Amino acid sequence: MKPYLEMTFAELAEEKSKVEKQYKEIQAMGLKLDMSRGKPSRAQLELSRPMLDVLHSNIYFNDETGTDCRNYGVLTGIPEAKRLMGEMSEVGPDDMIIFGNSSLNVMFDSVSRSFTHGVCGGTPWYKLDEIKWLCPVPGYDRHFKITEFFGIKMINVPMSENGPDMDMVEEYVNNDPTVKGIWCVPKYSNPQGYTYSEETVKRFAHLVPAAMDFRIYWDNAYSIHHLYEDPEKQDYLLEILRECRKAGRPDIVYKFISTSKVSFPGSGLAALAASHRNLEDIKKYMKIQTIGHDKLNQLRHVRFFGNVANMRDHMSKHADIMRPKFELVENTLERELGPLKIATWTKPNGGYFIGFDSLEGCAKSIVKKAKDAGVIMTSAGATYPYGKDPRDTNIRIAPSYPTEAELEKACEVFVVSVKLATLEKLLHR
């Protein structure tokens, strides 16, 4: 197939007629498929079903210290849960606090606490005239919704396969005291699936913030979410808290993690790792907020997984379900769109998403056409603050939730939508 950009007007018009016919045939199928979010599939949820049998009325409900997990107390989590989540997060148990089921909730609370009471004795943010936040783009829409909710001015920072533009990050963080934070998904990032390079992590650790209350919000959501067993095909991420300590700046990072896409998304474990100073600051707030989180769920996870090695074995079963779906999407895009040279996409080694970039000005049209043909995708622009992609190019592809048969149909709808939207744009020019 001849690349679209090399076609004459007449050739483009002829191709558009063919693609329109395909699109109408797809519309007539009455599909109803959802690829809007990176949710685990039913098959993935079944992997954790035995966890529900771990606790029953005839078992011992005490943790290793003898505390009855059915009762009040243990503010920061039972010891064995802190050890398990510490292993998953590559930090020690004393660096951890175990929360409820949602790391996003912990991030929201962290921003909210900073507004009302400040950070480690700093001025509460609500008293400040302006607050800024750095947002690597494309990025995670729910991160951006948190900072938008609090009225924080968000600044786009371009992403590359090595992570955010660190020259830009350093310029803002080291010189502007109104910059209070940066969102990071450092491993298998949402939506591109990139992993920050060692140099990027070290540059983060060596930031010299103009604001004493600046924090890196390090959302390591996909820390053990590989697609391949071969270590050569697994991304490696340098551990940020250790690097910050080596650099003499242990307080500048909050590291978030959860088992949402390891066990059950609606009832996993969320945790935060940070310096002891930060943890003490957070505990003062927690003592007012709660008497303790769900220790029975902590116990359930500990007894089901035991250790991080078993957790990794469990995740290899997830990979067996996820890998064929990612390869199906990548093969379809390569076969149908590669020769046309009208788009680019990432090929991640893990995580939950594929980042797709259309020709400029086409993303919204593509997503709308896919929806009109029965496939719901994440809104175009969602991967940018305020939902505004300045070039209207980026689309997040989430292959996890549909079955392979459904995904094959969804891919067919998507590539036809890409072709049609692109042809319309080129002919309009």
- The CATH number that applies at residue 360 is 3.90.1150.10
| Number of neighbours of residue 17 by Cβ within 10 angstroms | 10
For the sheet with 253-258, list strands across it. 96-98, 270-273, 253-258, 215-219, 179-184, 132-137, 153-160, 163-164
Nearest to 22 by CA among 427, 420, 426, 425: 420
Whether the predicted pLDDT of 261 surpasses 90:
yes
- Can you tell me which residue has the tokens 């242990």? 250
Weakest-pLDDT range from 33-37, 82-86, 93-97, 415-419: 33-37
- Longest CA–CA separation in the chain, Å: 79
Nearest to 153 by CA among 129, 185, 171, 170: 129
According to DSSP, residue 57 is labeled: T
Q: Is residue 51 part of a domain?
A: no
Q: If pLDDT is split at 50, 70 and 90, which confidence band does 285 have?
A: very high
What would the mean pLDDT of 268-276 be, rounded to a whole number?
Answer: 98
Condensed to tens digits (0 to 9), the pLDDT of residues 375-416 reads 999 999 999 999 999 999 999 999 999 999 999 999 999 999
What would the mean pLDDT of 357-365 be, rounded to a whole number?
Answer: 98
Question: In the structure, how many helices (H) and strands (E) does the chain have?
Answer: 13, 13
Nearest to 47 by CA among 316, 326, 325, 309: 316
Structure tokens at 234: 């697994």
Dist. CA 266–CA 270, nearest whole Å? 11
Residues 211 and 230 in one domain: yes
For residue 211, count CB atoms less than 10 angstroms from its CB and return exposed for 0-12, middle for 13-18, buried for 19 or more. Answer: buried
The domain that holds 287 is classified in CATH as: 3.40.640.10
- Can you tell me which residue has the tokens 């090929």? 347
Residues 117 and 262 in one domain: yes
Nearest to 105 by CA among 239, 245, 294: 294
The CA-based angle 181-206-249, given to 5 degrees, is 75
Residues 277 and 326 in one domain: no
Q: Is residue 79 part of a domain?
A: yes
Given a contact cutoff of 8 angstroms between Cβ atoms, the answer to whether 136 and 182 are in contact is yes
Structure tokens at 345: 């996409």
What would the mean pLDDT of 10-24 be, rounded to a whole number?
Answer: 97
pLDDT for position 176: 98
* Among 306, 335, 359, residue at a domain's last position: 306
Q: Which amino acid is at 54?
A: V
What would the mean pLDDT of 166-180 be, rounded to a whole number?
Answer: 98
Residues 292 and 331 in one domain: no
The alpha carbons of the chain give a radius of gyration, in whole angstroms, of: 23
Residues 251 and 125 in one domain: yes
pLDDT for position 218: 98
Q: Which amino acid is at 157?
A: V
Q: If pLDDT is split at 50, 70 and 90, which confidence band does 1 have?
A: confident
Mean pLDDT of the chain: 97
According to DSSP, residue 190 is labeled: T
Residues 274 and 221 in one domain: yes
Whether the predicted pLDDT of 365 surpasses 90:
yes
Q: Which amino acid is at 381?
A: G
3-state class of 138 per DSSP?
coil
Condensed to tens digits (0 to 9), the pLDDT of residues 99-114 reads 999 999 999 999 999 9
Residues 262 and 161 in one domain: yes
Residues 13 and 119 in one domain: no
Please state the domain count of the chain: 2
What would the mean pLDDT of 211-217 be, rounded to a whole number?
Answer: 98
Phi, psi of 99 (to 5 degrees): -110, -145
Whether the predicted pLDDT of 124 surpasses 90:
yes
Residues 301 and 317 in one domain: no
Residues 225 and 266 in one domain: yes
Dist. CA 194–CA 186, nearest whole Å? 8
Residues 185 and 238 in one domain: yes
* Among 306, 325, 355, residue at a domain's last position: 306
Residues 299 and 320 in one domain: no
Q: pTM for the whole thing?
A: 0.97
Dist. CA 290–CA 72, nearest whole Å? 10
Given a contact cutoff of 8 angstroms between Cβ atoms, the answer to whether 392 and 381 are in contact is yes
Write out the residue range of the structural domain in which residue 336 sits: 4-44+312-428
3-state class of 249 per DSSP?
coil
Q: With b meaning 16 or more CB within 10 Å and e meaning fewer, what string describes 371-388? A: eebbbebbbbbbbbbeee
pLDDT for position 293: 96
Dist. CA 225–CA 117, nearest whole Å? 35
CA torsion, points 95, 111, 224, 54, in degrees to nearest 10? 70
Structure tokens at 96: 């951890």
Q: Is residue 57 part of a domain?
A: no
For residue 129, count CB atoms less than 10 angstroms from its CB and return exposed for 0-12, middle for 13-18, buried for 19 or more. Answer: exposed
* Among 306, 324, 345, residue at a domain's last position: 306
Q: If pLDDT is split at 50, 70 and 90, which confidence band does 429 have?
A: confident
Strands 163-164 and 153-160: antiparallel
